[in-house]
Each structure stands twice: as C-alpha cells, then as structure tokens.
Structure 1
Amino acid sequence: MPIVDAGSGAQPTGKVARPLVAKLVAMMLLEFAVFGSWFATLGLVLSTHGAASVIGQAYFLSAIAAIVSPLFMGAVGDRFLAPRNLLSLLHLASAAIITAIPSALQGGDLTLTLVLIFCNMLFFQPTLGMVNAIALVELGEHQRIFPYIRVFGPLGWALAGICVGALGLSSSTGVFYFAAASSTALALVAQTLPKRPPPSVDSHFSLGDLVGARAFVLFRNRGFAVLMFCALLTSISLGIYNTFASPYLAALGIKNVAGVLAMGQLSELVFIVTIPFALSRIGMKWSLLLGMGLWGVRFALFILAAHGLLGAAYLSVIMHGICSDYFIVVAAMFIARCATPDLAAQAQSWLVLMISGFGAAIGSASSGKIFAAFVAPNAASGAVAWTPLLLLPLCLGAITCAVWIVLFPSARNSEADSVRPTAPLGGAGC
C-alpha cells in the first residue's frame, strides 16, 4: 500500500499518511473484534444457558435494531455530531449495555436478556456503516486502497474468535465482557481520528432526515436499486448463517466452534486483497455476482456435510472470505461513488439496513420457524435433520444470480466498473 509520513510535506498523488492508515486500521480491527467476539457464537451461548428457545428471537431483534437505528444515526452523524464523536458515544453506550447481559442470562430472565441484546444492537449496528463511511471519506481520492484497510475487519473478527475459542469461552457469557472491552478501546481510538465537522451541519433539517429520507434519491440509480434488492436476498442467507451456523457445526460433532468459525474471517484476509485485481479484470458487476452467488454454494456444502462429507463443512466456513469480501466490501466501494459527501453516512447505512436489518430479520425469523418445524422435532436423527433449513439459502442464491445478471447495468469498460473517488449521484462515479 502506498503511504507516506505525515511530516513529509504535501502528499504525493496516490499516497496516504502512515498515521492516518494506522488509525483507520485500528478502528476497523476493533470494530469487528467487538462483533466477532460474541455474535458468531450467540446461539451456542444461549443454548448452553437454557435459552435455545429464544435464539431466533435474539437474532431477529438484532436485525430489527439494524432497521430502526442506522438511518437515524446516519442522519445524526451527517448533521449534528462529528463522525468520530458519534462513533465513540455509540460504542461506549454499547459497552455499558452488553456487560449487563451475563447476569440477566444466568439469572434465567430471558425477556430482560432479549431487551438488552436489542438495546445493545441499537447502538452498535449503525457503527458498521459508520466505519466504512469514515474510512472512505478520510481516504479521499485514495479509495482504491480501501480493501487494504477493510481487511483488518475480518482480521479483528478472526482474532476475537480465536481468543474466545482458546480461552474456552465459546459457550460462555464471558464473550460479552470481551466485547465490552473491545468496544471501549474503539471509543478511545475514535478520538484519535481527524476532527471533522458534520458534513451537513449547515443544511436545513426536516423530520424526513430522522429516517434518512434524503438518501432515498439514491434509488433513482438503477445500479444502486438492484444492488439493494440483491443485498436483501443475499443477507437472508447471511442471517441464517449467523443464527444457526454455530449450533449446526456443534450438531456435526465439531469441537471449538468459535475457532472453526474464525477460519472464515481468516480467509477474508486472503480474498480481500484480491479485490482491486478482480475489479480491474472482471469489473464490479461480476465481482459482486461472485460474492453473492457463492452463498448458495456454501449451503450446498453444508448439506453434503450433513450426509457424511464432514470436510465440506470446513470448506463452507472458509468460503466465508470470498462471499463476504466480494459482497459487502465491493458493495461499500460502489455505494461510496453513488453518494455525495453530505449523504455518505446515510448511503452506507442503507447497506447495513439491508444486510443486518431486513435481510437478517427475514433470515433469522424464517430459519427459526423452519428449525422449530423440521429440525428440533427430528434432532435424534442428527445433522441430517438440518437439510430443510439449509435448502432455503441454496435456492435464494440461484434467484439472486438470475436477478443480478439480468437487471444490473453491464458496463465492462465504463466508469461503473472502476473504483473512483466519491461522485455525485448519477455522475460518472456510479
């Protein structure tokens, strides 16, 4: 990655200051260490403490939080609070709430446990889009190196998972304390970022801004609209994976579930650095298709694992890297070119809304019903009982591919296939 010392005078074209890179790296690493330390094995933690009946509800409420808060917080960040200050405040609030979950769960108060999980995610979910928006804005004309910053996200998730697994906390409430410590650390790191005023501080405020209504203009762009629809379909599969991957791996007889799931995040380190090469060779349309379409393949491998081919489960977990990188990271880069600076936070919030919000809600709710109807009653038959649940994302992957190929604009040699600095809606950048 081309970088230059901050004290070397004017930055040459194509170079970014080392101190800024270090701060953005720390921000991205800690952001996903917070998430990866507890969210991946939440289902296992709940089932271990006699709360298996609310696994689906917990993930569903997390998704509802992602629907309710990101656009609202994006509007707040665009107008009233400096991005770094909002990021710090949200993480401090999240840390305070998540430390109360262990006592509620251990005390058998499932209602309070669900309320705390929901409240925690109200504060945390908006930060997923905020860290992307902050990094892309700070990189400015150097957004092509964003993947090299974003790669530390999955690294943070993987390191958190490895630590949790090595400490024997995969099914323990200790994961919540780990998350709180990481969240507090990120709040401190955020204060070292460049101090910038809210991008729309002088703009007129309306009630529509509370729900990010100004960002609706993005849907005039066909590419953005199709991306949001396909992101919704793909994130249903992601929601199913997040909800039931850990108990499914346990059903297969796999030990150290947190450590195994961390393999998926480690694989992101390999695939994410290939994004600039892929964009230059096959373009954004086909890169995104690769990331979204392979979700169906992952669940086909899970089905094979249930029928005796255990190695297919490990391969499916490892494929998380390419599925996540070529879907979420490339999508964030595309969105950065669709929105003007004053809409940057709200635009990235739409991606969070579709992935962690609507898609995750539908995924967790539908998979919870399928689990209750087909898996739980046939638990004695082992992992084979999970097959009906695994078929849904496989079918969704096929539908997503068909919609994407037919409707997303094809412009192999146009601006739509290149990575450029943020440009206004409808301009060359989107």
Structure 2
Amino acid sequence: MRSQPPNVAPQEPAASADTAGPDEAVPATPANGDTKLFVQLTVMMLLEFAVFGSWFATVGLVLATNGLATVIGTAFTLAAVAAIVSPMLLGALGDRFLPSQKALGLAHLLGGVTMLFLPAAVRAGGGGLVLTLTFVYMLFFQPTLGLTNAIAFRHLGANQRRFPYVRVFGTVGWVVAGAVVGWLGLSSSPNLFYATALISFALGVYAFTLPNTPPPAKGVRFSVGDLVGAKAFRLLRHRNFTVLMVCALFTSVSLGVYNTYASSYAGALGFSNVAGTLALGQASEVAFIVTIPFVLKHVGMKWALFAGMCMWAVRFALFVQASNGSHAVAITAVLLQGICQDFFLVLAAMYIDEVAPVELAAQAQSMLILVVSGFGQCIGSLTSGWIYDATVGAQAHSVPADWNTIWSLPIASAAVAALVWAFFFRLPRARRPVVLEA
C-alpha cells in the first residue's frame, strides 16, 4: 500500500490462465472502494496478526528461559492439534448460523481471558498447566485465521485481487507487535502473555463493529457432518485442489519447525533482541506482498506458489550455514519470510477463494488452516521436538552446529512439496479457473 491511497484499488493485472476468477466464483457483495470498508478490513488484519505475533514468535524462548525447554515441542504440537480440532467446526457454524464477525469477536475475547493465566503457570514451572492453557487458547485462536480471510474476501467481492493490500496490514501488525515486545524486553518474559491478552481483548471488541457478514449457507439443511466441515472435503475430488492441500501439508512441516525453534536458535546464535530480529521476517512480507498482483500477471499462480515452496528449503539451508556463527546469514534466512509466506499462504488463500463455491467459502478457507496450522505444523513441531531432544537437548553445552540435524527435516519436506506441485498441478485450459462443484 505504500504508494496507493487506501480508497483507490490497485491496478488490476490482466487475467492469466491460472489466476483470474469468474464473477460467479465470488460473493455478490460488491467492493466499492469505500475508505471506511478498507480501513475496517485492514485494522482487522493488523490486530489479528498483532495478537499472533506478540507471543507466538518467541514463546519457545520464554519456555526455555523459564526452565520449560522440554515442553516446547509439545506446546507447538498441541497448538497444531487445536488447529485440527477447531477451525472446521467454527467454519461450519460461520457458514450456516453465526455471523463471521461475531464468531471472530467471541473467539478473541475468550482467548484473551485464557492468556491471563499463562504468566503465573510459566513462573510456577507447571509444564502440564502451561500445555493445557496453550491448547485451550489455540482452540479459540486458530479458527480466527480462516475467519479473517473469509470476512475480507466476502466484502471485497469481485475485486478479490485487492486482498494482498488488505492482508499486508496483518504483516504490519506482526512486525509492530514483535518490535514492541522486543523493545519492552519481553522476548523471554512470561509477561508477554499479558500484552497478548490486551491486544486480543481489543480485537474482540472491535470485531463487533465490522460489517455484517451473514452465514452464506443460512437456511441450508444442517447435518452432523457439518460439525467437522465434511462437505468441504468433497473439494478433494478435484485434482488441483488435492495437490494444493498435499503441498500445503509438506510445506507447513517447514513452517512448523520454524515456528517451534527459530527463536531458540536465534538465542543460541547470540542474538539479544530475538523478537525484533524475527520481526524482520514479517517486515519483508510487507515488501513482497504488494508484488503479488504483478507476479500473478507475469508468472501465474502455479509458478508463484512453486517459488514460495522452494524458498522454505533455501531458508533452512541458510540456517545450516549460519551455524558457524554468521549473524548476517541467519538474518538473510529470516528475511526470506516474505517469499516463503506471501507466495505460499496468501496465494493459497487467493486460489481457494477463486475456485471454492460460495456456500463453502468459510469451510474451504478453514481447511487450508487445518492442513497448514494443524496437520503440517503438528508433524513439523512433533518430529523436530524428537530430533531436538536427541541432539541439542542431549548436549550439556550445545553449540549451533548441533541444530543442523533438525534443519534437514524442513529442507526435505519443502523439496518434496515443490516437486509434487511442479509435476502434478495442471494449469486449466480455460482462461479462467473452473469453480469447483461442492
């Protein structure tokens, strides 16, 4: 958004064979370029990722500093399990019964209350209680990632290519939150959970002021299968959608490893302001996300996503190189966050919005979160936790080189994702992608 006024839509690139969506593929709600609507959506994204970025990037360091290093892998695994359990249910409710903005508000208010109990639990060294509270909090938080996407796409209407310019403010929120946490010296302090609770309460209240986003499938007969979003799984009958989900699974294994141990590794390398250092990665997202329309026009959806998957492997290869103590190489790996995230998660959400039927919009977005933040990150955090315990954790005085075995896991998973995507995703013959049947 740097050079684009908030009330002016960015120039729409010409449709390419694998990026443009038909008018009937998006909700009927028009995107009128109204400044108020733009501000509402961008503030929503900013607060959503400020909540996430205020604690998630350095919670591993908090646990390690306070004598709970052995539960780091389990904590992130439980966060991923919560992503498996909760988003599809809330997505089904959002599609049929509960307006999305109200579901978003309630989830953050309840999550904020849960966060208030974490500082005392960490200081008391109660690993079991910390894990329980983390799991409960993530049950509330994980569905909100899909809900914010669904709300934004719904109100952007046919102009869904504006989504990157809304989503970039989420990145700004993460950067600001990380920078403030680092500046306040909370990177390794249990008090950072109080900051998260405060931001969560703010978003919980703010969500009720968002434009009404009624259930798109209201009145449609409800079945028990809707409780787990079963109808969204029907989209897996379509080859490209299945390939996307498989590649998202393998790529998010890398994401799970990064989220679990990046902060601890930065500490091992000797970085003092870990939260601020990792926030540089989110800052790079701001630079890359605004290039998405240009890249889609000239490269297309398939190869843009391919680049995002490949960069995850490159990123961890740089982490291996940084084990010799090179801060510059480590920072370069952190700065690849822009390509890794924007050309993976953001583009995947845009592709799903193009091809998913409107009545399954919330559930389809929740499925992406289920695969990425659920199964993929669960595999990544759990497996890397085992490797950590057998390597770094087994050393009385570990050195950065001891981490290299851990980084081999995300390198391999990202490489598999890139190969599967390159060989099995088929570009549609038509100028526009076909809207998938439910």
TM-score where L is the length of structure 2: 0.92
1:351 aligns to 2:368 (yes or no): yes
2:45·2:173 contact (CA, 8 Å) conserved in 1?
A: yes
For residues 108-144 of structure 1, what are the alpha-carbon distances to aligned partners after superposition, in whole Å with 9 as ceiling and x for unaligned? 2211111010000000000001100100011001111
- 2:87 alignment partner, one of 70, 78, 84: 70
Q: CA deviation at 1:258?
A: 0.3
Partner of 2:436: 425
Q: CA deviation at 1:310?
A: 2.9
Contact 2:116 2:197 in 1 (8 A): yes
1:53-202 alignment runs, 5 A limit = 53-202=70-219
Q: Tell me, yes or no, if the aligned pair for 2:249 and 2:372 is still in contact at 8 Å.
A: yes
Deviations 1:369-397 (A, max 9, x none): 00011122235351000010011111222
1:262-341 alignment, distance < 5 Å = 262-341=279-358
Name 1:10's counterpart in structure 2: none
1:267 Cα shift? 0.4
Q: Which amino acid aligns with 2:120?
A: S
State how far apart, in whole Å, the 2-side matches of 1:283 and 1:79 are. Answer: 34
Alignment correspondent of 1:419: none
Q: Deviations over 1:150-176 (max 9, x none)?
A: 001111011000000000000011211
Q: Deviations over 1:72-97 (max 9, x none)?
A: 01001111111111110011010011
Distance 2:212 2:142 in 1: 23
Amino acid at match of 1:410: L
Contact 1:2–1:14 (8 Å) recurs in 2: no
Provide the C-alpha distance between the structure 2 equivalents of 1:388 and 1:324, rounded to a whole number of angstroms.
23
The structure with the greater share of residues assigned to helix is: 1
- Mapped to 2, the partners of 1:72 and 1:213 lie a distance apart of 10
- Contact 1:165–1:256 (8 Å) recurs in 2: yes
User: 1:29 & 1:352 partners in 2: Cα distance?
Assistant: 18
* Identical pairs, percent: 52
Task: Name the residue aligned to 1:9.
Answer: none
Select which of 196, 203, 224 maps to 2:220.
203
**Per-residue deviation, 1:426:** 5.0
Distance in 1 (alpha carbons) for counterparts of 2:5 and 2:149: 20
Q: For residues 380 and 412 of structure 1, do their structure 2 counterparts lie closer, same or farther at Cα, with a shift above 3 Å needed?
A: farther
1:238 to 255, 280, 305: 255
Q: What is the match of residue 227 of structure 1?
A: 244
Match of 2:271 in 1: 254
Q: How far does residue 274 in structure 1 lie from its aligned partner after superposition?
A: 0.2
Q: CA deviation at 1:412?
A: 8.5
Distance 1:52 1:4, change over 3 A: closer
Aligned positions, number: 414
The 3 A distance-change label for structure 1 pair 14 and 98 is closer
In the TM superposition, what whole-angstrom CA distance separates every residue of 1:239-285 from its partner, at most 9, and x where no partner exists? 00000000101111111000000000000000000000000000000
| Kept after mapping to 2: 8 A contact 1:272/1:325 | yes
Aligned to 1:389: 406
Contact kept in structure 2, 1:94 and 1:124, CA below 8 Å: yes
SS at match of 1:151: helix
Q: Which residue of 2 aligns with 1:45?
A: 62
Please say if residues 309 and 415 of structure 2, whose CA atoms lie closer than 8 Å, have aligned partners that are also in contact: no
Contact 1:218-1:338 at 8 Å conserved across structures: no
**Residues 269, 325 of structure 2: 8 Å contact kept:** no
Q: Quick check: 1:379–1:385 contact (8 Å CA) kept in 2?
A: no
Q: In the TM superposition, what is the alpha-carbon distance from 1:291 to its structure 2 partner?
A: 0.8
Give the gaps of 5 or more residues in structure 2. 9-29
Structure 1, unmatched stretches of 5+, are 6-12, 417-422
2:31·2:156 contact (CA, 8 Å) conserved in 1? no
Report the Cα distance in structure 2 between the residues aligned to 1:199 and 1:15, rounded to whole angstroms.
20
Larger RCO (CA under 8 A, 6+ residues apart): 2
Cα RMSD (Å): 1.6
Could you tell me whether the CA contact under 8 Å between 1:299 and 1:390 is conserved in 2?
A: yes
